[in-house]
Chains A and B, each alone.
Chain A
């Protein structure tokens, strides 16, 4: 049985990793919940963002936050573009899974083409920085990722809850015809959601670049976890995505501490499977 300190550190590590899961899940939860389209390409976009951050950071020597400022509008445009394709070809919910599946592979190949399959590490000055709380360490970058996740989750929640656009989005998601009867333009809204979702992917990607080592095939490792988080948290539920991310993160890291690390992926996938089977009605 590991020591209390180890457990405590695992808890912290789990929470912070969970925050990153939540950040990545946020965009997916939004697009799936509000648009009824499953975007597997979300992961590819995140990794594209990660590699761009890496590239801008190592080659152009741009600070990560500057890269993010560039990435956000670019990815917003990419998201809108993706949805234009969906609309143009009248892609329905299930076909979207297939199309984005293909998209993910293409982006993965592109990434591998430019950056090769070698592992890439974005070394920054604050990579090893951390704050000490008693016997426990809180790594700065991971903490920032988690904090960003919380801020964005709250902001998105507030946006959906309090603004007119947010309410219109929620109404459209439930009954687009009736929403239209009261003046809501579903198509324009969909572009907005797609763009925001992609932008969130980009931001998550930037943090992934800062925190972990990059390799193209890595993106598939996140798929199970993030889908589990999205489904546990509930579609189009930003706070739910954050909390679910924290939950999964903690259970994974505790598993890693108590059992061997190699079993960790099992946790998220198994939870996903259990949830898919046990959850009544539509997700």
Chain B
């Protein structure tokens, strides 16, 4: 198990709390965490990325306990984050944003090689490498955010609501890219509100509702259950209706 979270309890000011979250991500997996907004998905992934502290529970990455690791050293463990809303450094160029990704020394040595890889993955970024990140479109910014995380040569890539604010065609493209990245050997933990896309790509998924994991399993199983409808649409008996709708 690459990432192991056991009974995590996180609360941070007014951020939605997570009461009891246990999940695992193996090095070969794409794992999704789905659930309605306010359920605590971002809180959970921010804690894994080291941006938030947790109150109780345990979080281990490749065997190392992350409890004592300060925020700026989490990256060194091999975890990279693509945050909600991109959070690019808007006043810096595309290439500079990517370079921040490989700030840590081990990644910096492989800078040229990784940069090539990112530009191959996202050709349009190569064209716009000197452009200010803040002036790009939503989809392009998402590419930069993913590229920046890849520059850190992570073993685990965290994605927080990657489809947010993107046009459907762009979303499709992006999920293809995520698949391609995974194929190169990076484990993925993905938090998404868009159930359809998330379950299409995931090997396993967890459903987070009101701060607790209420279901887990492979997508096919979860889709069949009514938990998801309940969580998102609030209704217990729509399975028939939903299947009638075309």
Contacts and interface: CB of A to CB of B under 8 A. Distances in A.
Interface of A: 164, 167-168, 170-171, 174-175, 177-186
A167 B98 CA distance: 11
Contact of B74 (A170, A178, A181, A185): A181
B178 interface: no
B100 A171 contact: yes
Interface stretch (B6-14, B32-40, B85-93, B211-219): B85-93
Interface string B49-87: 111000000000000000000011111100011010001
A174 B87 CA distance: 10
A181 B50 contact: yes
Interface stretch (B16-24, B101-109, B113-121, B202-210): B101-109
B108 A164 contact: yes
Nearest to A167: B96
A178 B86 CA distance: 10
Nearest to A178: B87
B92 A170 contact: yes
B148 A182 contact: yes
Contacts of B72: 180-181, 183-186
Given A177-B51, A181-B83, 6 more contacts: A180-B51, A180-B72, A181-B74, A182-B100, A183-B73, A183-B104
Contacts of A184: 72, 100, 103
Given A183-B75, A184-B72, A167 B87 contact: no
B91 A178 contact: no
B31 to A, nearest CB: 20
A175 B84 CA distance: 14
Nearest to A236: B91
Shortest beta-carbon contacts, A-B, top 10: A183-B104, A180-B72, A183-B75, A180-B71, A171-B89, A183-B103, A185-B72, A178-B87, A171-B100, A174-B89
Interface of B: 49-51, 71-76, 80-81, 83, 87, 89-92, 96, 99-101, 103-104, 108, 148, 152
Nearest to A166: B96
A170 B76 contact: no
B83 to A, nearest CB: 7
B103 A182 contact: yes
- Among A175, A179, A180, the one with the most B-chain Cβ atoms within 10 Å of its Cβ is A180
A248 B104 CA distance: 42
A36 B127 CA distance: 33
A12 B83 CA distance: 52
A185 B99 CA distance: 16
Contacts, number: 63
7 contacts: A164-B108, A171-B89, A175-B89, A178-B89, A181-B75, A182-B103, A183-B103
A179 B87 contact: no
B100 A179 contact: yes
A180 B74 CA distance: 9
Interface secondary structure of A, over-half rule: helix
Contacts of A179: 89, 100
A171 B76 contact: no
Contacts of B87: 175, 178
Contact of A178 (B73, B83, B96, B108): B83
A106 B228 CA distance: 65
A186 B103 CA distance: 13
B106 to A, nearest CB: 10
A236 to B, nearest CB: 9
Given A182-B101, A182-B103, A174 B71 contact: no
Given A171-B100, A175-B87, A181 B81 contact: yes
Contacts of A171: 89, 92, 100
B154 to A, nearest CB: 10
Nearest to B158: A181
A181 to B, nearest CB: 5
A181 B71 contact: yes
B68 to A, nearest CB: 16
A99 B7 CA distance: 45
A203 B48 CA distance: 46
Contacts of B92: 167, 170-171, 174
A181 B86 CA distance: 13
Contacts of A170: 89, 91-92, 96
Nearest to B134: A174
B75 A182 contact: yes
Contacts of B73: 183
B86 to A, nearest CB: 10
Contacts of B80: 181-182
Nearest to B91: A174
A59 B152 CA distance: 55
A168 B100 contact: yes
A174 B100 contact: no
B51 A181 contact: yes
A175 B145 CA distance: 14
